Structure 1
Amino acid sequence: MHHSNLIMILEALVVVGGIYMGVRTGGIGLGLWGAVGVLVLVFLFREQPGDIPSDAILVILAVITAASAMQAAGGIDYLVAVAERVIRAHPRAINFLAPLVTLLFCASAGTGNIIFPLLPVIYEVSYERGIRPERTLSTSVAASGVALAASPVSAAMAAFVGLTGDRGDALSLGQIIAITMPACIVGVLAAALFTLHWGKDLADDPIYQDRLAKGLVDPPASETGEDKKPLAPRAKPAAITFLIGVLVVVILGAFKDLLPSWTVDGKTQTLSLTTLLIMVMLAVALAVIYIGKVKPSEVLDAPLTKSGLTAIIALLGIAWLANTFIAANEDTVIGGLTNIAKSAPWFLAVGIFLVAAMTTSQSAAVNTMIPLGLSLGVGVPQLAAYLPAMGGVMTLPANGSQLTAVEIDKTGTTKIGKYVVNHSFLLPTIVMVVVSVIVGILLALVIG
């Protein structure tokens, strides 16, 4: 075996070992073991440390601060009450509504990060209805991964338009979205159907029953027969303030002309969506504190703050470990995918999925595999149909939304399995991506 291949296999074992031990330890242990993995790769294998996922960490911090302020003011209870009224007539609708709303929110805003404020509400509504939260959380997180393929304003879509715009068979942005959006919607519905009866119902789930017996999770109010706590008087205005903040991000994301821009070294730079989201959410947190008459200390005591901090530490260690491994072995891994795609062009969709999985970046997947597809003479409509494969970002449990969903789900149903890849999000992601790409290919035949 070639020396560099042996080194890569040993490094991969460090990554898998770090995640395995982190899952066994639980909570912030995931992040701490990830950081130990980085230490081993840097000092033992002399690899350069990869990028710290600072953008994702700061987004979680900002969104969780705003959501915790809203929780302290009773705003989450208010949103859950509203959502429940909608769903009560069709309790199973949450299985379909949660991921569809997530898909549309993320596609409108051009970022999967907009899912963070939705997660606590999805969890609470599912739990109150006695529905296993894993079913709705897993499909919603998977939907946030494919959503950027259906977004006219995402960085990944901008990269695709830029790469294919001067081809003879180039598509307009509207035509690309006409392929990807319906494809993603059908994919999301297929995954929701797949998870409809997934896992044991809460009444039969030994892990949940054990947590319930130990008092780690409160029984749903619908089961205890108690009247729900009356809503705090400021709950509604606090929730509305929060939703206005989310809406501002979605609108500014969709209409980039509204964003400030600057000329730096002769190039125009527009305010990034990540920076926008952080600024708006921190401002929303302050507004909610005043409108909801919440003490700043109560924000830190809100249950969501603890969940968010745990997710941040987990993300710091695990994503940093994955980034270090990929940066060190990019030529071998990406080069291998490129060679296969040359002999089987359809493999480009698999390539997009795998690059997204390894880099946890939709843009990296587009920038790596689409130029290869163009050089192989694959048509632009067909390449557009492959875009939902960027949902592969959810393959490894190294994303903020996955780690946050696991932390928020107090029933213990949403989890990262001890074998690393057997986590709650993998199968819904695969179902969603496969169905979306197949539907996309059929639409491409019509539109292209």
Structure 2
Amino acid sequence: MDTVLITLQALVVVGAIYMGVRLGGVGLGLWGAVGVLVLVFVFNDPPGDIPADAIMVILAVITAASAMQAAGGIDYLVHLAEKVIRSRPKLVNYLAPTITLGFCAGAGTGNIIFPLLPVIYEVAYERGIRPERPLSTSVVASAYALAASPVAAAMAAFVGLTSNQPDALSLGQIIAITGPAVLLGVLVAALVQSRVGKELADDPEYQRRLREGIVAPPGAPAAESGLADHGPGAASGTRTTTTADVPVTAKRASAVFFGGVLVVVLLGAFDGLLPTYTVDGETVTLSLTTLLVMVMLAVALVVMLVGKVAPGDVLDAPLTKSGLTAIIALLGIAWLANTFITGNYDTVIGGLTDIASDAPWFLAIGIFLVAAATTSQSASVNTMIPLGISLGLTTPTLAAFLPAMGGVTVLPANGSQLAAVEIDLTGSTRIGKYVLNHSFILPTLVMGIVSVPTALLLSRFVG
């Protein structure tokens, strides 16, 4: 009877995720909340923990990033990236995803890639390079970047979940494990992707579009080639800055934002710099979650002041909308997963303990699959890391599994994937008829296969 009940509850979880993915956006979180209702009222499960820490971090970081966006800071960063990419156009297959990795890790969100996509497309197409190659790798790199980001919500959630473990790691130690691993994964994926697909001159779909005037030959003006209607504004509401006349306020705003990121990294890397308090006779150190929220909200205010941004402009920034969507999705899905595990703790944990003792790497696959199903890095961390802790896995090992949350690009359901397909007028970047046969699946798998084992190797020397 217990097996039947657990199976039915698992079907509720899977069904809610399926319906949420189909609806998209905030629908993922709303269906997750419906699943919680069913588990609580139909199966009498106690409600699981709400991922409050992760939600607070997303709110704080997105507020700061949105203020920077409103001040023109993201346009300035895109301008810098464009200068680097255009300076070495032959290396666009490698420069584009590497720069994307750095920007997204620094900003704590993959959404910064949107205004970069037209730049990547233009540079590749002007050189006759198949745009699918740098576009797909860059989009996937934006997802894996959060495993190496000191201000990502998923990273804060991981630190918060593992901070009480006897082998807890500092933020700097975690980045030392995940950063080089993800970078290597991106470079290997870029190498593999540089050989994917036919050259444009031999691509029948591109040739058809060229004949029909859907896309102009390389070197044509943007308006003639159709890029005027497929710029980053179509995807994110931002503009690509292509001139050197960047407002000084935009430069200051971006400098303040990344200065705040540096403060978080330094304080998180050296616990001795954090204040301590005595609570009930015990010495308690300020948590990374609290540090992140305080610093990033303060950064948001300073960005508004130096960038001369009105409060309403922050709320109107495209990143604010995407952040709210992420919060709702995380709330519903992570809450649903926590409720299921809480209600069936002995059965779920007991059944997985033997597997973990023989093959601890299975948790990385679990993180990858949960990320794929929920399209949320934070949801995968908040769902699977507590499970790993319960199974007795060490914190360095769990940190090494963080790159697996890049599985969010397994399904072509992310805005950056859809935007890349829309921007690529050659038709080389595509979503196939069979769900998984899209341009992003190969770099997703390559980065995961390379980065997780590399991180596991590095974890042996950290801690």
Give the TM-score of the pair, scaled to structure 2.
0.69
Aligned residue in 2 for 1:360:
381
Partner amino acid, structure 2, of 1:129 = I
Given candidates 83, 108, 122, the residue that maps to 1:115 is 108
CA distance in 1, matches of 2:416, 2:461: 42
SS of the residue 1:360 aligns to: helix
SS of the residue 2:47 aligns to: coil
Contact 1:249 1:276 in 2 (8 A): yes
Gaps of 5+ in 2: 122-130, 210-214, 216-226, 371-379, 423-429
Contact 1:395 1:426 in 2 (8 A): no
SS of the residue 2:360 aligns to: helix
CA distance in 2, matches of 1:278, 1:190: 35
Contact 1:15 1:37 in 2 (8 A): yes
Aligned residue in 1 for 2:61:
63
1:29-428 correspondence runs (5 A): 29-88=27-86, 89=88, 90-98=91-99, 101=102, 115-116=108-109, 119-130=110-121, 135-145=137-147, 154=159, 162=167, 185-193=183-191, 218=233, 231-342=246-357, 345=358, 347-351=359-363, 353-354=365-366, 360-361=381-382, 363-364=385-386, 366-370=388-392, 388-393=400-405, 406-407=414-415, 411=419
Partner amino acid, structure 2, of 1:127 = P
Per mean C-alpha deviation after superposition, the further-off stretch among 407-416 and 92-101 is 407-416
Partner amino acid, structure 1, of 2:85 = I
| Alpha-carbon distance change, 195 to 18 in structure 1, aligned in 2, over 3 angstroms | farther
Tell me the percent identity: 48
Task: Compute the displacement of 1:348 (Å).
Answer: 1.7
Per mean C-alpha deviation after superposition, the further-off stretch among 138-147 and 321-330 is 138-147
Partner amino acid, structure 2, of 1:285 = A
CA distance in 1, matches of 2:188, 2:265: 26
Tell me how many residue pairs correspond in the alignment: 402
| Alpha-carbon distance change, 161 to 97 in structure 1, aligned in 2, over 3 angstroms | farther
SS of the residue 1:411 aligns to: helix
Task: Compute the displacement of 1:260 (Å).
Answer: 0.9
Task: Compute the displacement of 1:360 (Å).
Answer: 2.3
Aligned residue in 1 for 2:127:
none
Given candidates 5, 8, 11, the residue that maps to 1:7 is 5
Contact 1:179 1:385 in 2 (8 A): no
| Alpha-carbon distance change, 294 to 269 in structure 1, aligned in 2, over 3 angstroms | same
Deviations 1:186-205 (A, max 9, x none): 3443345456678999x97x
- RMSD over aligned Cα, in angstroms? 4.9
| Alpha-carbon distance change, 91 to 441 in structure 1, aligned in 2, over 3 angstroms | closer
SS of the residue 2:340 aligns to: helix
Contact 2:118 2:231 in 1 (8 A): no
SS of the residue 1:268 aligns to: strand
Contact 1:68 1:299 in 2 (8 A): yes
Partner amino acid, structure 1, of 2:331 = L
SS of the residue 1:129 aligns to: helix
Deviations 1:233-255 (A, max 9, x none): 42111111111111111111111
Task: Compute the displacement of 1:159 (Å).
Answer: 6.9
CA distance in 2, matches of 1:70, 1:127: 21
Give the TM-score of the pair, scaled to structure 1.
0.71
Task: Compute the displacement of 1:258 (Å).
Answer: 0.9
SS of the residue 2:85 aligns to: helix
| Alpha-carbon distance change, 33 to 230 in structure 1, aligned in 2, over 3 angstroms | farther
Per mean C-alpha deviation after superposition, the further-off stretch among 128-137 and 75-84 is 128-137
SS of the residue 2:401 aligns to: helix
Deviations 1:195-238 (A, max 9, x none): 6678999x97x9xx9xx999896469xxx999669534421111
